[in-house]
């Protein structure tokens, strides 16, 4: 397993970091001052990847994403907000090796493309030290100081990812394996729900925001009477394809029976995943972040707890099972703040070097 190292940075006054979060839907770039819990001067833009260019090849999408990321970081560093930065930190939505090579980008470019040495690419183009990490690895560093016990951070957004943080390190291998529970195949059928990585029956294709939305579209088409009675039918103008994640989350929070039933069906495999991690390594703290989980709010934890309680966790009663589950902070700054804390970490390596995990 890998303990992440970060570049040696200049000492003296409080350092400022430019941090970026490259997700399947949105690229965000901001500034964090060392020791601060705030992200300032944030710029947001749609990611030039799969979400915007569905017909493009995986390699073309990878090229678009890398060019956009490099261009926007370079531009930000040239602004008053970004000038004087000690380093750049980038959280990347995909598995990475220790040396900063991206192995896949399912929510960014879909299927297979060439391995991407993103740390080296950015290092050649930018004038400051660069560290790149998997997005959930970065986010875990936000919570590391506040969680005294080992914990598992799970993001529920356009996809699903997880990382286990224990004894001051994120548990991933040097080759980038680990932390991709969203690609655990929970449905072995040949006609199972497709995943954006090209596989089928993966947890992320079923229980992510995109997965639940697909399930809602199908359920509404298969049960028009139930859909007609649901709070979803008005905002969707009576069309199953008109349902949005925002409407779905709002209906679930309000206790809508149809929307809740759809979500419960998708949460069962997620509960199985939590059960598997607990049974395998005994982690008893699960924090959930990501746009879809945050939009659902406390109702998400309650419904997931229902499914996990039905499954049971060996040696735990219902109260102990439910106590394992919690929402993270109700914002989208996890990766940005986590990257800043990584950059300010206590494990410096040679100046100008970078890494990923």
Per-residue model confidence as pLDDT tens digits over 149-175: 999 999 998 889 899 998 878 888 777
> According to the model, what pLDDT value does residue 266 have?
97
* pLDDT (mean) for 129-152: 89
Task: Please check whether residues 114 and 245 belong to one and the same domain.
Answer: no
Residue 219 has pLDDT above 60, yes or no: yes
Q: Are 322 and 188 in contact (CB under 8 A)?
A: no
> According to the model, what pLDDT value does residue 356 have?
56
What does the CA dihedral 231, 270, 308, 357 come to, rounded to 10 degrees? Answer: -130
CATH number at residue 110: 3.30.420.40
Residue 35 backbone zone (phi > 0: left; psi -120 to 50: alpha; other: beta): left
Give 259's pLDDT tier (boundaries 50, 70, 90). Answer: very high
**Total of domains in the chain:** 2
Q: Is 129 part of a structural domain of the chain?
A: yes
Q: Please tell me the distance from the alpha carbon of residue 259 to that of residue 202, in angstroms, as a whole number.
A: 22
Task: Please check whether residues 108 and 221 belong to one and the same domain.
Answer: no
Q: Is 151 part of a structural domain of the chain?
A: no
Helix pair 257-281, 298-311: axis angle to 10 deg: 60
Task: Please check whether residues 274 and 345 belong to one and the same domain.
Answer: no
- Sign of the Cα pseudo-torsion (255, 258, 261, 267, in order): negative
> In sequence order, what DSSP letters do the residues of 107-122 get, joined into one string?
HHH-S----B-HHHHH
What does the CA dihedral 7, 11, 17, 23 come to, rounded to 10 degrees? Answer: 20
* pLDDT (mean) for 339-349: 71
Nearest Cα neighbor of 25 from 55, 57, 52, 59 is 52
Task: Please check whether residues 87 and 198 belong to one and the same domain.
Answer: no
Radius of gyration of the chain (CA): 20
Task: Please check whether residues 105 and 230 belong to one and the same domain.
Answer: no
Q: Is 357 part of a structural domain of the chain?
A: no
Give 13's pLDDT tier (boundaries 50, 70, 90). Answer: low
Task: Please check whether residues 342 and 311 belong to one and the same domain.
Answer: no
Q: Is 256 part of a structural domain of the chain?
A: yes
H or E element: which one contains 165? strand 160-166
Give the distance from CA 233 to its chain's centroid: 30
Q: Are 200 and 193 in contact (CB under 8 A)?
A: yes
Q: Please tell me the distance from the alpha carbon of residue 226 to that of residue 284, in angstroms, as a whole number.
A: 38
Nearest Cα neighbor of 216 from 250, 182, 180 is 250
Helices (H), the chain: 58-77, 106-109, 118-125, 135-143, 203-207, 209-222, 224-229, 245-253, 257-281, 291-296, 298-311, 318-323, 334-343
Residue 349 has pLDDT above 60, yes or no: no
Q: Is 263 part of a structural domain of the chain?
A: yes
Give the range of the structural domain holding residue 216, as residue numbers without chain letter: 180-284+291-327
Q: Please tell me the distance from the alpha carbon of residue 179 to that of residue 1, in angstroms, as a whole number.
A: 12
Q: Are 327 and 300 in contact (CB under 8 A)?
A: yes
Q: Is 168 part of a structural domain of the chain?
A: no
Q: Are 273 and 286 in contact (CB under 8 A)?
A: no
Task: Please check whether residues 194 and 107 belong to one and the same domain.
Answer: no
Q: Is 70 part of a structural domain of the chain?
A: yes
Give 231's pLDDT tier (boundaries 50, 70, 90). Answer: very high
What does the CA dihedral 308, 300, 268, 247 come to, rounded to 10 degrees? Answer: 170
Task: Please check whether residues 279 and 303 belong to one and the same domain.
Answer: yes
């Amino acid at each position: 397993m890998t303990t992440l190292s970060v570049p040696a940075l200049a000492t003296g006054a409080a350092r400022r970091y430019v941090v970026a979060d490259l997700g399947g839907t949105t690229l965000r770039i901001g500034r964090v001052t060392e020791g601060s819990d705030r992200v300032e001067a944030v710029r947001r833009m749609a990611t030039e990847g799969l979400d915007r260019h569905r017909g493009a090849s995986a390699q073309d999408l990878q090229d678009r994403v890398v060019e956009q990321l490099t261009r926007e970081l370079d531009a930000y560093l040239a602004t008053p907000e970004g000038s004087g930065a000690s380093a750049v930190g980038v959280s990347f939505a995909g598995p990475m090796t220790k040396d900063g090579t991206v192995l896949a980008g399912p929510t960014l470019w879909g299927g297979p493309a060439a391995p991407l040495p993103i740390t080296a690419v950015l290092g050649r183009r930018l004038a400051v030290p660069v560290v790149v990490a998997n997005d959930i690895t970065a986010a875990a560093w936000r919570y590391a100081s506040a969680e005294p016990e080992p914990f598992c951070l799970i993001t529920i957004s356009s996809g699903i990812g997880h990382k286990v943080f224990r004894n001051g390190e994120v548990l991933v291998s040097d080759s980038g394996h680990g932390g991709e529970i969203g690609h655990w195949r929970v449905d072995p059928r040949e006609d199972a729900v497709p995943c954006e990585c090209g596989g089928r029956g993966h947890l992320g294709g079923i229980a992510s925001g995109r997965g639940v939305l697909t399930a809602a579209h199908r359920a509404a088409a298969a049960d028009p009477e139930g859909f007609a009675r649901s709070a979803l039918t008005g905002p969707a103008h009576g069309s199953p394809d008109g349902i949005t994640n925002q409407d779905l989350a709002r209906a679930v929070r309000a206790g809508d029976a149809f929307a809740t039933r759809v979500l419960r069906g998708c949460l069962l495999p997620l509960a199985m995943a939590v059960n598997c991690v607990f049974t395998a390594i005994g982690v008893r703290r699960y924090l959930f972040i990501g746009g879809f989980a945050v939009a659902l709010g406390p109702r998400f934890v309650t419904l997931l707890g229902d499914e996990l309680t039905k499954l049971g966790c060996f040696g735990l009663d219902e109260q102990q099972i439910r106590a394992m589950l919690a929402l993270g902070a109700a914002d989208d700054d996890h990766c940005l703040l986590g990257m800043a804390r990584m950059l300010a970490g206590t494990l410096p390596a040679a100046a100008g070097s970078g890494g990923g995990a």
